[in-house]
Structure 1
Amino acid sequence: MMHSSSVRRMITVKWSLCLIFCLTNSILVSAKHLCLPDQKDSLWGFKNEFNVPSPHSYAMTEKWRNNTDCCSWDGVSCDPKTGVVVELDLQYSHLNGPLRSNSSLFRLQHLQKLVLGSNHLSGILPDSIGNLKRLKVLVLVNCNLFGKIPSSLGNLSYLTHLDLSYNDFTSEGPDSMGNLNRLTDMLLKLSSVTWIDLGDNQLKGINLKISSTVSLPSPIEYLGLLSCNISEFPKFLRNQTSLEYLDISANQIEGQVPEWLWSLPELRYVNISHNSFNGFEGPADVIQGGRELLVLDISSNIFQDPFPLLPVVSMNYLFSSNNRFSGEIPKTICELDNLRILVLSNNNFSGSIPRCFENLHLYVLHLRNNNLSGIFPEEAISHHLQSFDVGHNLFSGELPKSLINCSDIEFLNVEDNRINDTFPSWLELLPNLQILVLRSNEFYGPIFSPGDSLSFSRLRIFDISENRFTGVLPSDYFVGWSVMSSVVDIDGRIIQYTVTGIDRDFYHKSVALINKGLKMELVGSGFTIYKTIDVSGNRLEGDIPESIGLLKEVIVLSMSNNAFTGHIPPSLSNLSNLQSLDLSQNRLSGSIPGELGKLTFLEWMNFSHNRLEGPIPETTQIQTQDSSSFTENPGLCGAPLLKKCGGEEEATKQEQDEDKEEEDQVFSWIAAAIGYVPGVVCGLTIGHILVSHKRDWFMRIVSFFT
């Protein structure tokens, strides 16, 4: 009995093990082949709806295999419990073709995330998109979609993230979008050059119209309606108590900013620039209601006096350029203890700089193009400064020496003032200085001190034109200018701020320069591209330094209207990126170096009003210039001037003499011919007469004797 009992136990154990093995194997097989057949068929059908350039390593659908588990396919994620497809991310997969209304995609009813960005879906977004009712994330950025935004989007009630950016939708946002009450991040940049942005600050224009009274769900945290042709302030914002980020710039809104805006408790960022606002509703201190406001941009409107902004202690960034403010800069700005960026350019402010500016710890101070005057107070210069622009004002006196403490400064522009000072060679001690503009002031004296080795290692724009600088530059003057000498890529440390977790860049710098004889304004990314030197309109003397040839990255070089003498240095031919060269109105002598003809990017040059001589080099780059680029050089000859060079004149004279000799010979032959023909005719006539008379006389004599 014991034996049979033990046998039964062994059999039971074996069957148990067998059952465990089978179950384990079943689980393993199930885990290995998780994808459900209908899900696989839908995905495979969707793949076959598009043309994909073959072979293409980035086309994820090209790696799909029909005999494998679809949950292991690139871009596909499945629910491990049910085997349904819950995520499909085929961004940058080179899908080429329209998204059809009967696409197999819309049979994937359990999708929670759909990302098809940066494909070529060119066509309309079908209403069938509303069938994917479990979607939480929908990204169709840069898909060449156009037409109307389907109202069926309102069916996607679980949607939290929507990005339809970089497309070409032309209709108003459908009212049904008001049903998306879980939406927290919405981007509707609706065109590939022109777009709006609901959540991103890279602002451009759009061709989409959105009603200012459209109803959006609550709570909304980030909202941008830029360039949407809005003509009145969006009233639906009044109840958006969670709103942190608001951008309604570049619209057509007129009138006053509503008082209730500042009562939104979470508001951190407000950009209402590029509209036609002319004031603020409510009492003068109405903006004090926005206690947590960090960034305010009211630039490019028609705001007038009085300056409406009273202290908001939390404010970090204030942009108020391109308005109609006048009078003195209000001292109340000095009470903004946390202010880091202050831009008041292009207004009509007058008077002097408030000395209370010493209380501010500014990183950016831009006051250009106003009527500010007096001596800029030393104590008003924050040692934190990275960008300082007070150009086009009436400042006098010396350049503030306290700038030497600004070790982080990159941009320094004081153009078109009345600053009377010697050349600030101490600026070379600023290790990060990239742009120095002293144009059109009353600076005087030499720009080099004997025994000193001036070195602007990071400088990319150097403009000291239209001053009264004098003296001779040593031959090694440009030796230490590293960035202009080599391909060193220095990205400007653009001022950044963080609002609601999103980094934003501001690059409100601008400077005018002369390029190819024309004035142009340089803004934004142009600062990282252009490397220029302009010392024109001074009284500099002596030879042009040979070290100029080290600045191989310079694009614009202007040394005109000085008193430079000597020859044009052949080392200029090393400036392989040079596009514009102006050496006019100096006292340069000798010839134009033929080596300049190898500068293939050199489109414009001017050598006029010098003492140059000899033939103009016969190279395409030089010969294609207008003749005005070479005038007023008495000894200069050759094309494009009409004056022939010496050797050419002798050859021409010899040719003319030979031609004259040939002409004389021709005339002699003609004269001989003219003389010969009448002679022959005359002789024949006389002979005929004589013969005729002789016959007559002979007949008479014969008749007499007979």
Structure 2
Amino acid sequence: MRLLFPLIACLLLLLPRSLSSNYLPSLCHQEERRALMQFKDSFIIKNNSFCEYTEENHPEVASWRMDGNNTNCCVWDGVECNQDTGHVIALNLLRSCLYGSITSNSSLFRLLHLQDLTLVFNDFNHSQIPSEIGNLSSLTYLDLFNSNFSGQIPSEIQYLSKLSSLSLGSLDGYNYLYTKSLTSLVQNLTNLEELALSNINISSTIPESLANLSSLKFLFLDSCGLYGQFPTRIFQLPHLQDLDVRYNKNLTGHLPEFHTNSPLVHLYLGSTNFSGDLPASIGNLNSLTFFDISNCNFSGAIPNSLSNLTQLTLLDLSQNSFNDLSWFTRPSSNAILPQFEMLGLDHLNLTKFPDVLRNQSKLEYLLLRGNNLQGLIPKWMHNVSKDSLQLLYLSNNFLTSFENFPAIIPWPNLKDLLLDNNMMNGSLPIPPPSLQVYVVSNNLFTGRISPFFCNMSSPRELDLSYNHLSGMIHPCFGNLNQTSLSILALRCNNLGGTIPKTWAKGCLLRMLDLSQNQLQGHLPRSLANCTELEYLHVGHNQINDTYPSWLGTLQQLKILVFHSNGFHGAIWSPETNYSFPNLHIIDLSHNHLSGNLPTGYFTQWDAMKSNGVKNLHYLGDWVNYSITMAIKGVELEYKKIHDDLKVIDFSCNRFEGEIPEQVGNLKGLHVLNLSNNAFTGHIPSSFGNLIELESLDLSQNKLFGEIPPELVQLHFLSMFNVSHNGLTGHIPQGQQFGTFENTSFEDNRGLCGRPLSKICGDSNVSPPTFEENQGPRFVFEFGWKVVAMGYGCGFVFGVVIGHIVTTRKPDLVIKIFGKKQRQTRISRVNRRK
């Protein structure tokens, strides 16, 4: 008992100190508290693409206040203080919805004791990282990932010698940061354990000195524009766990011999120029779980030692040049194989389904596109990872059907199925309710589309294009849009009847392609409920309807194609004041539309008023929109449409009256075709403002007067056709007009000058005469391919296939591409991997 009381007394003496150090927060310094509030006040807190601010899930910084009991900044969300000194040592503002710029005099740089600075997923509005960041000399952790900085990374970061983690990268390439020297940036950061520079423009070789960072565990240099030889010694860093240099196409290298003690867990080399053999010693990487070498130049055999990697869950060998694939195709043995969750085997020239799949029970993603798989999908495949498989890509093979053809796709939890560009026949296999993406375009499927397709609980994309499907489109398809359907493509089948009349409110469709079928009736007005619609294509059907002016309410519409139908009447209605502000392509050709073009119709086409390539983007998001257009009499399918391409085709209708001057305000236009109508009056001189124009076809109309001399300044005009009109006077000379042939001007008896043989000043010129219905008559006398002879090509074709063309040589493009025949296995809808 005597010993117990002194022990209790000692504990009581220690207890307050223990509570103070572990449970009572330190008081922050007044100057640091003021600096934090000034930092907060220098930003707007709002929702943006990086974070979502709600009352229930408010960001840390929103709760900072200096009233009442909130004066101690050490208890503020996202702030951490040293328990002994009270100095702020960590600031974690992840997803705090900050919007604004960090300037060189920001109060942030007065927090000189900061060791951890995390500003991930905020929006700093393309501001530069101030060089004053180098003043925070105590920093060990600096994370500015995906925070919308731009400009040059300040060289002062190299003086933060205590850094163990530096993250400046971004997701998806939306980063405008760059550095002129990776060497100088990291040469003094000898304590680095993590270096993350994803999507930063480095555009240099990888310095050999990077292999001297002996503490490095994580190295992320994907999508950095790296080139040259990758230093092999980096693979052998003693603590390296994650290495990612994907998407550096000019980066070369080869794999070294690996030792058994290598700690590598994730190795990403995809979409680089790495080559050589896979060493047998790769089987020594006992901790490896992710291995991606897709789209490289590896060759030789796939080593049997790959079976030793029992921890491997992701393996992507797609698009390489292996000449020995026996590891996949040998009969199954009792060997313990890795249980993959993702297996990428695209474009490996496989001729049969790999036997290694027979033992797989955990697969979620299986990629077998672009191989030489032929005949039936074997019955044993139906049981491969039956309950876990979510994504199955079998596009671009020679598959004909399922063995023991199931009525329903046999994987009950499948979400994505790509079977496009095969030779699949019979009726469409019914999707399970879980399926979200069902793409079977360019096959030989027949029969009707089952109403069971409407049992899909959350569809995103349904593409049945280029098959031999018949019957009607079930009315329930209009209700699929209440969920999540973004893309519905039924192009080029034998579907008849009418378009479903009811499209539900809240419809989320972005793409609707019903072209090249036998659809009749009207365009349902309920499509106005699809307010997100960007692409509407109903060309080559038998629709008989007045012009649906109500479509002008669809503010997101970018591509509108009605060609070769029975649309009739005027194209303007007083019912709506909206008129396609985002429209890029409109094709109303080969219909029976009539009346004048209203002058106000073109004033709101804002997207067509902008010109010049600003960003290299394609129309569409995760699916690229495609379209068929006629170029100099050759129909070409554009698999990608650049967002700068602007086209108007009103040809082969019955429009009359004068061409509105307002068309000349659409300065972004590349193609304008008004041929085969009954337009009268002069060619608008405002067409001289169409500085991007490459193809102008006004042939087969009743135009009179002179060709405006302002057209000479259209430097990119590669095709010009005003034949079969009543034009008079001199043909303008100079620039592109020196390249046009006689046929561009024929049957204008009042025109003179080159390239015509008629010399100006000849008085024996008969006045132009027109038959009463000359314009409409030509609609039926000229076939599509003849009428389209006026189309030009050049930048138009270049941007569609994804290249910037600096010299415009349209005829060369036609020589290269014009004779290309349509092939059975060309993919009709391109998808991003």
For residues 366 and 417 of structure 2, the distance between their equivalents in structure 1, rounded to whole angstroms, comes to: 10
Q: Who is 1:299 aligned against?
A: 420
Q: Who is 1:281 aligned against?
A: 403
* Residue pair 2:449, 2:473 contacting (<8 A) in 1 also: yes
For residues 593 and 474 of structure 1, the distance between their equivalents in structure 2, rounded to whole angstroms, comes to: 22
Q: Who is 1:345 aligned against?
A: 465
Tell me the secondary structure at the aligned position of residue 236 of structure 1: helix
Tell me the secondary structure at the aligned position of residue 519 of structure 2: strand
For residues 363 and 508 of structure 2, the distance between their equivalents in structure 1, rounded to whole angstroms, comes to: 32
Per-residue deviation, 1:492: 8.1
Task: Say yes or no: does 1:633 pair with 2:753.
Answer: no
Per-residue deviation, 1:187: 2.5
Q: Who is 1:357 aligned against?
A: 477
* Residue pair 1:608, 1:632 contacting (<8 A) in 2 also: yes
For residues 565 and 203 of structure 2, the distance between their equivalents in structure 1, rounded to whole angstroms, comes to: 59
Per-residue deviation, 1:134: 3.9
Name the CA shift for 1:295/1:540 in 2 (closer, same or farther; >3 Å).
same
Per-residue deviation, 1:400: 1.9
Per-residue deviation, 1:513: 2.2
Task: Say yes or no: does 1:321 pair with 2:476.
Answer: no
Task: Say yes or no: does 1:428 pair with 2:543.
Answer: no
Per-residue deviation, 1:529: 2.3
Tell me the secondary structure at the aligned position of residue 600 of structure 2: coil
Per-residue deviation, 1:183: 3.1
Aligned-partner residue type, residue 245 of structure 1: Y
Unaligned runs of 5+ in 1: 1-30, 35-42, 44-55, 79-85, 496-504, 651-706
Q: Who is 2:345 aligned against?
A: 225
Cα-to-partner distance string for 1:199-229 (whole Å, 9 max, x where unaligned): 799x996555672634996343333232233
Q: Which of residues 490, 500, 512 in structure 2 aligns to 1:388?
A: 512
Aligned-partner residue type, residue 325 of structure 2: S
Name the CA shift for 1:245/1:627 in 2 (closer, same or farther; >3 Å).
same
* Residue pair 1:349, 1:372 contacting (<8 A) in 2 also: yes
Query: Which has the larger displacement, 310-319 or 168-177?
Result: 168-177
Q: Which of residues 557, 574, 580 in structure 2 aligns to 1:456?
A: 580
* Residue pair 2:318, 2:348 contacting (<8 A) in 1 also: no
For residues 214 and 575 of structure 2, the distance between their equivalents in structure 1, rounded to whole angstroms, comes to: 79
Tell me the secondary structure at the aligned position of residue 277 of structure 1: strand
For residues 268 and 390 of structure 1, the distance between their equivalents in structure 2, rounded to whole angstroms, comes to: 28
Q: Who is 1:163 aligned against?
A: 268
Tell me the secondary structure at the aligned position of residue 326 of structure 1: strand
Per-residue deviation, 1:281: 3.3
* Residue pair 1:541, 1:563 contacting (<8 A) in 2 also: yes
Aligned-partner residue type, residue 139 of structure 1: D
Tell me the secondary structure at the aligned position of residue 228 of structure 1: coil
Q: Which of residues 471, 478, 492 in structure 1 aligns to 2:602?
A: 478
Q: Who is 1:513 aligned against?
A: 629
Q: Who is 2:527 aligned against?
A: 403
Per-residue deviation, 1:586: 0.8
Per-residue deviation, 1:584: 0.8
Tell me the secondary structure at the aligned position of residue 257 of structure 2: helix
For residues 745 and 196 of structure 2, the distance between their equivalents in structure 1, rounded to whole angstroms, comes to: 63
For residues 95 and 316 of structure 1, the distance between their equivalents in structure 2, rounded to whole angstroms, comes to: 39
Name the CA shift for 1:169/1:278 in 2 (closer, same or farther; >3 Å).
farther
For residues 354 and 256 of structure 2, the distance between their equivalents in structure 1, rounded to whole angstroms, comes to: 21
Per-residue deviation, 1:452: 6.5
Cα-to-partner distance string for 1:57-85 (whole Å, 9 max, x where unaligned): 531322567xxxx4xx2xx435xxxxxxx
Name the CA shift for 1:629/1:381 in 2 (closer, same or farther; >3 Å).
farther
* Residue pair 2:183, 2:209 contacting (<8 A) in 1 also: no
Query: Which has the larger displacement, 629-638 or 353-362?
Result: 353-362
Cα-to-partner distance string for 1:86-130 (whole Å, 9 max, x where unaligned): 55668769696698xxx776676664334565475534875x666
Per-residue deviation, 1:143: 6.7
Q: Which of residues 560, 563, 585 in structure 1 aligns to 2:678?
A: 563
For residues 301 and 270 of structure 1, the distance between their equivalents in structure 2, rounded to whole angstroms, comes to: 14
Q: Who is 1:606 aligned against?
A: 721
Q: Which has the higher helix share?
A: 1
Aligned-partner residue type, residue 557 of structure 1: L
* Residue pair 1:122, 1:143 contacting (<8 A) in 2 also: no
For residues 559 and 200 of structure 1, the distance between their equivalents in structure 2, rounded to whole angstroms, comes to: 54
Per-residue deviation, 1:171: 4.7
* Residue pair 2:295, 2:318 contacting (<8 A) in 1 also: no
Tell me the secondary structure at the aligned position of residue 186 of structure 1: strand
5 Å-filtered alignment, 1:9-28, equals: none
Aligned-partner residue type, residue 566 of structure 2: E
Name the CA shift for 1:87/1:560 in 2 (closer, same or farther; >3 Å).
same
For residues 304 and 322 of structure 1, the distance between their equivalents in structure 2, rounded to whole angstroms, comes to: 11
* Residue pair 1:130, 1:155 contacting (<8 A) in 2 also: no
Tell me the secondary structure at the aligned position of residue 397 of structure 1: coil
Name the CA shift for 1:415/1:97 in 2 (closer, same or farther; >3 Å).
closer
Q: Who is 1:5 aligned against?
A: none
Aligned-partner residue type, residue 599 of structure 1: L
What TM-score do you get using the length of structure 2 for normalisation? Answer: 0.61
Q: Which of residues 282, 287, 293 in structure 2 aligns to 1:182?
A: 287
Unaligned runs of 5+ in 2: 1-136, 141-160, 162-177, 300-312, 329-334, 766-833
Cα-to-partner distance string for 1:285-340 (whole Å, 9 max, x where unaligned): 4633x222111111111111132x23411111111101110111123322223223
Query: Which has the larger displacement, 204-213 or 536-545?
Result: 204-213
Name the CA shift for 1:255/1:517 in 2 (closer, same or farther; >3 Å).
closer
Aligned-partner residue type, residue 489 of structure 2: H
Q: Who is 1:546 aligned against?
A: 661
* Residue pair 1:276, 1:301 contacting (<8 A) in 2 also: yes
Per-residue deviation, 1:401: 2.1
For residues 204 and 178 of structure 1, the distance between their equivalents in structure 2, rounded to whole angstroms, comes to: 19
* Residue pair 2:315, 2:340 contacting (<8 A) in 1 also: no
For residues 311 and 454 of structure 1, the distance between their equivalents in structure 2, rounded to whole angstroms, comes to: 39
Aligned-partner residue type, residue 437 of structure 2: Y
Q: Which of residues 408, 412, 420 in structure 1 aligns to 2:536?
A: 412
* Residue pair 2:618, 2:640 contacting (<8 A) in 1 also: no
Q: Who is 1:616 aligned against?
A: 731
Per-residue deviation, 1:255: 2.9
For residues 179 and 733 of structure 2, the distance between their equivalents in structure 1, rounded to whole angstroms, comes to: 51
* Residue pair 1:273, 1:299 contacting (<8 A) in 2 also: yes
Name the CA shift for 1:454/1:93 in 2 (closer, same or farther; >3 Å).
closer
Q: Who is 2:589 aligned against?
A: 465
Tell me the secondary structure at the aligned position of residue 622 of structure 1: helix
Per-residue deviation, 1:553: 1.2
For residues 406 and 352 of structure 1, the distance between their equivalents in structure 2, rounded to whole angstroms, comes to: 21
Give the share of equivalent positions with the same residue, in percent.
Answer: 38
Name the CA shift for 1:619/1:122 in 2 (closer, same or farther; >3 Å).
same
Name the CA shift for 1:598/1:64 in 2 (closer, same or farther; >3 Å).
same
What TM-score do you get using the length of structure 1 for normalisation? Answer: 0.71
Q: Who is 2:393 aligned against?
A: 271
Name the CA shift for 1:172/1:354 in 2 (closer, same or farther; >3 Å).
farther
Name the CA shift for 1:544/1:208 in 2 (closer, same or farther; >3 Å).
farther
Per-residue deviation, 1:247: 2.0
For residues 337 and 151 of structure 1, the distance between their equivalents in structure 2, rounded to whole angstroms, comes to: 48
Tell me the secondary structure at the aligned position of residue 672 of structure 2: strand
Larger Rg belongs to = 1
Q: Which of residues 350, 363, 368 in structure 1 aligns to 2:491?
A: 368
Cα-to-partner distance string for 1:652-673 (whole Å, 9 max, x where unaligned): xxxxxxxxxxxxxxxxxxxxxx
* Residue pair 1:374, 1:395 contacting (<8 A) in 2 also: yes
Cα-to-partner distance string for 1:451-474 (whole Å, 9 max, x where unaligned): 875622221111100011111223
For residues 737 and 353 of structure 2, the distance between their equivalents in structure 1, rounded to whole angstroms, comes to: 57
Q: Who is 2:707 aligned against?
A: 592
Cα-to-partner distance string for 1:497-535 (whole Å, 9 max, x where unaligned): xxxxxxxx223x321223466433233342x22111100
For residues 315 and 335 of structure 1, the distance between their equivalents in structure 2, rounded to whole angstroms, comes to: 10
Task: Say yes or no: does 1:251 pair with 2:371.
Answer: yes
* Residue pair 2:619, 2:640 contacting (<8 A) in 1 also: no
Name the CA shift for 1:384/1:260 in 2 (closer, same or farther; >3 Å).
same
* Residue pair 2:182, 2:206 contacting (<8 A) in 1 also: no
Cα-to-partner distance string for 1:629-663 (whole Å, 9 max, x where unaligned): 1111111111112221117999xxxxxxxxxxxxx
For residues 429 and 464 of structure 1, the distance between their equivalents in structure 2, rounded to whole angstroms, comes to: 18
